[in-house]
Amino acid sequence: MAGPLDGLRMVEMAGLGPGPFCGMLFADLGAEVVVIDRPGAPPDPGGVTARGKRRLALDLQQSAAREAALALIGKADLLVEGFRPGVMERLGLGPAECHARNARLVYGRITGWGQTGPLAAAAGHDINYIALTGALHAIGRAGEPPPPPLNYVGDYGGGAMLLAVGLLAALHEARRSGQGQVVDAAMTDGAALLSSMFYGLKAAGEWGGERGGNLLDGGAHFYDTYACADGRFVAIGPLETKFFRRLCELCGLDEAFAAAQMERAQWPMMKLRLADMFRTRTRDEWCALLEGSDACFAPVLDFDEAPQHPHNRARSTFVTLDGVVQPAPAPRFSRTPAAHPRAGASDSVESVLDAWSATPGGAARG
């Protein structure tokens, strides 16, 4: 078996960010993913999100290329596109045209603002989408502007991951009804959903409006990062009393310090004391003392260090493909594990159609 999605067919319209990442997730788990790209388009940087996929170069401004795309879509279970609203319709590849060819098709649309709403047609990127939801405002240090948190929250977490959930949910429904549908995955919606716990804490009076003063945003001394003697960093997160007491025991901090964990008025002073303590040893020395204990401790590793950590090596969390170190497929499956990823490759419409005509369709046709 090549993974739990073996036999599933996806057409991915080439794009940036969440669409290719979502397609990679499906390819990692065994789906056949075919990317329709522009002729002469540059390859994916590093080739990571292209892994496991076949790429077709089609000029969709030409009627023959559009017909070829529709022929592929007619045999697919899923389509994923990340253009602005209306672009696929202008190409003649909107939901109406695609469902006329394939009524069972699940048509996934990933955008920042969504398919509707006053901002739907506006340009934007991850940082703009998470700004609109409250998520960006909550991230960062007190008295400082909110920092760009890479593109995890909007593009990948609120975008690609929720698109993947939506696609799988719609596939499940299509098996029952025989009908496909459109999945409208907006990064604003997704980033807002990821913030559910914090909206709940706010409603309960347990989350203040200012950055850096709350339990999980760096306000608490026991949930933060600290600089070490060598300029590297460690992360601690002993939220529970028993875990914080364990940290204090291992570090030689007195009982009075441990007992004051939840006294918010003491947090600034306690943070300074921990900062002074962590600066007395190197990161590796702290690892020797704390790693693997119930102190809820980890070193802060960079992208070169993380693949070499013993835990990540033991779990094969990273793989090397064509000389590029990259995260391995996740999650793990006991009976239908994902295969080792392979590099993406160019292909032809004819060969894909021949293959897809020779074998039955995937899960939506089950």
Q: List active site positions.
A: 125, 155
Q: Which helix (H) or strand (E) holds 346?
A: strand 345-346
Q: Which helix (H) or strand (E) holds 174?
A: helix 162-177
Q: How many C-beta atoms surround the C-beta of residue 296 within 10 A?
A: 18
CB 145 within 8 Å of CB 212: no
Question: What order do you get walking across the sheet with 181-186 strand by strand?
Answer: 181-186, 106-111, 78-81, 9-13, 32-37, 53-57, 345-346
Residues paired with residue 324 on neighbouring β-strands, in sequence order: 321
Give the angle 200-222-235 at the CA atoms, nearest 5°.
105
Radius of gyration (Cα) for the chain, nearest Å?
24
What is the distance of C-alpha 154 from the center of its chain? 9
